Amino acid sequence: MASATAHKDIPEDVVDGSAEQAISVPDTSDAGEGGKLKMIVSLVKKCLGVKDIATMRLSLPASLLEPIPNLEYWHYLDRPDLFAAINDSDDPFERMLAVLRFTFSKDLKFIRGKVCKPYNSVLGEHFRSHWDVIPVSYPSDPMQPPIQHLYLSEAAAQVSMTALSAPSSRFPASETASFKSAISGRSSKSTLSVVSTLSKNASRPASSKSTPATTPDLTDPELDARMSNLSLANPNASNSGSLLEAGDVPTLGDRPRVRITYLTEQVSHHPPVSAYTAYCPSRHLEMTGIDQISAKVSGTSLRVEPGSFNKGLFVKINGGPGEGEQYHVTHPVASVNGLFRGSFYITVSDATIITCTGADGQNLRAIIEYKEESWLGRAHFLLEGVIHTYTPGETAHEEWTKVKHVPRSRVLAVFDGSWKQVIRWKRVDAPDSEYTTLLDISTLHVIPKVVRPLEKQSGTESRKLWEKVTSSLLAKEYSEATKHKLAIEQKQRDDAAARIKKGSKFIPVYFDGDYESGIPILTPEGRAALEEEFKEEGEYPLEPISPSSADEKAEADS
């Protein structure tokens, strides 16, 4: 259990619940799109002029929520295969390219799925899961990106960067689709479970598992036939595309998988703050961070940016070629547009900065600059960026937040494209260098997670905690869902009042430490939970874990 001094630097109102009256949105009793739009407009009106909506206590009707817990929805591992590939190269420059690919894929749900509102997390709620993914392969040309083998479709038609269309009102599969499939007890082995809401023929016999497996059943004779019925619902994608394990699937069937485990916990309720960590031990990778957002209505959009405790993602390499490196990935600013039209889409602005520290060789830094969208016309979703060197101990590079700020002598490579389509790159120190693909995002789909069945979960795990709300929403019993949701919220208020009466503070179970740095620290209970998740039985053999240099040294010393 975390010590009582873990939050000594954080105000008490940050680590405990708030007893203030919630701002409610009236339920129109209309579950259709028109009724939802009326409720959204009412909500926006209440939020006008509010400095930070995230600090408000909003009580929303259940019909406005998607049937997925917030902690499950936010995890930055939509493409865990790209995360697992970060430490595959001996070249520090190529490792930075790998981090860039991961960064562009970490929020794929907002490209492939609709904009949605998950459940608000309650204090002490936690979620854990894992992914078993096929390692990437590498082409003979080192300038080309690694070959992925999971959940790909045909490349989007090549579109002029000045004529990219705005998002369609129809959306392909998302994490929500995967979650619905898991709760309803449908297929646990087919890729179809990820996109069951899009298929004309998605029904399968019930399975004992509570969640889809990461990959299709390679021995399923009907898989190809059912795959052909999928609609990707992406106007820029080929109509003939299919979600599948790309490449020579039969020969990849027995290939060891890489397992990535994930754990997150809500450590504050007012404002909402959660801590998270992900481990990929066979590739010596760790990702940690604090999630907190600040949001306000700006014009006709909702502007979302990191909160004060949210310093970004921290990817650490604990062994292998990049041992000792840490990549700090900051978050850009996002806007949810179309609030009054009921046709939501996301645009991104500002910049993402990736800084590599602890390296023995070149110290590298990357800037992803998202281009501002015009007030008129369609959004283009464009970006440009550079990879450059910097000098440790100096601070000049901290002022370089745009491509034009970086001195030409420092630049190693440039890249540009669309964060929804193709991103290309080239080196600048090679006279004959030509642009080549860094990542084709249009081909990527969200890889579903594996979650333990409900009977193995504790009462504070997300799916177990929200089980009745989810079941009611899926059955379209919105009044019943709202009743269960209000009961969960009331219990949180009662627990907060009891702590105040006793003069005690909430202490997280799985995370400890000073959150000011943005890097949470696992407690012994947190490490045990991740180890248990890694030992969960899977359908495929797992890649063996090789000891890091630190482990070998400790063993030798003992």
438-482 pLDDT per residue, tens:
999 999 999 999 999 999 999 999 999 999 999 999 999 988 999
| Kind and range of the H or E run holding 492 | helix 478-502
Nearest to 287 by CA among 262, 320, 323: 262
Residue 185 clears pLDDT 60, i.e. is over it: no
Q: Are residues 54 and 76 in the same domain?
A: no
Residue 368 clears pLDDT 70, i.e. is over it: yes
When the pLDDT of each residue in the chain is averaged and rounded to a whole number, the result is 77
Instruction: Report the C-alpha gap between 144 and 164 in whole angstroms.
Output: 24
Residue 414 clears pLDDT 90, i.e. is over it: yes
Instruction: Report the C-alpha gap between 261 and 542 in whole angstroms.
Output: 13
Residues 6+ apart with CB under 8 A from 66: 73, 116, 117, 118, 176
Domain boundary among 37, 64, 91: 64
pLDDT of 144: 87
Q: Encode pLDDT of 168-184 as tens digits.
A: 332 334 444 444 444 44
Q: Are residues 250 and 320 in the same domain?
A: yes
**Average pLDDT in the 220-230 region?**
29
Q: Encode pLDDT of 309-320 as tens digits.
A: 999 999 999 999
How does DSSP assign 332-393, residue by residue?
Answer: -EEEEE-TTTT--EEEEESEEEEEEES-SS--EEEEEEEPPPPSSS----EEEEEEEE--TT
Q: Encode pLDDT of 426-435 as tens digits.
A: 999 887 889 9
Residue 343 clears pLDDT 50, i.e. is over it: yes
pLDDT of 298: 76
If one counts the domains in the chain, the total is: 2
115: in domain: yes
* More confidently predicted of 341 and 351: 351
pLDDT of 156: 62
**Helical ranges in 108-262 per DSSP H:** 109-112, 175-183, 223-227, 249-252
504: in domain: yes
Nearest to 41 by CA among 26, 23, 31: 26
Residue 20 clears pLDDT 50, i.e. is over it: no
Residue 400 clears pLDDT 90, i.e. is over it: yes
Q: Are residues 53 and 90 in the same domain?
A: no
Give the domain range for residue 48.
Answer: 21-64
197: in domain: no
pLDDT of 101: 97
Q: Are residues 39 and 93 in the same domain?
A: no
| Kind and range of the H or E run holding 80 | helix 80-84
Percent of the chain with pLDDT strictly greater than 70: 68
Q: Are residues 493 and 377 in the same domain?
A: yes
Q: Are residues 536 and 502 in the same domain?
A: yes
**Average pLDDT in the 71-81 region?**
95
DSSP β-bridge partners for residue 137: 147
543: in domain: yes
129: in domain: yes
**Average pLDDT in the 123-149 region?**
91
- Model confidence band, residue 23 (pLDDT cutoffs 50, 70, 90): low
Residue 209 clears pLDDT 50, i.e. is over it: no
Q: Which of 143-157, 393-407, 449-463 has the lowest mean pLDDT?
A: 143-157
pLDDT of 35: 59
Percent of the chain with pLDDT strictly greater than 90: 50
**Average pLDDT in the 207-220 region?**
31
86: in domain: yes
pLDDT of 154: 78
Q: Which of 45-49, 325-329, 350-354, 463-467 has the lowest mean pLDDT?
A: 45-49
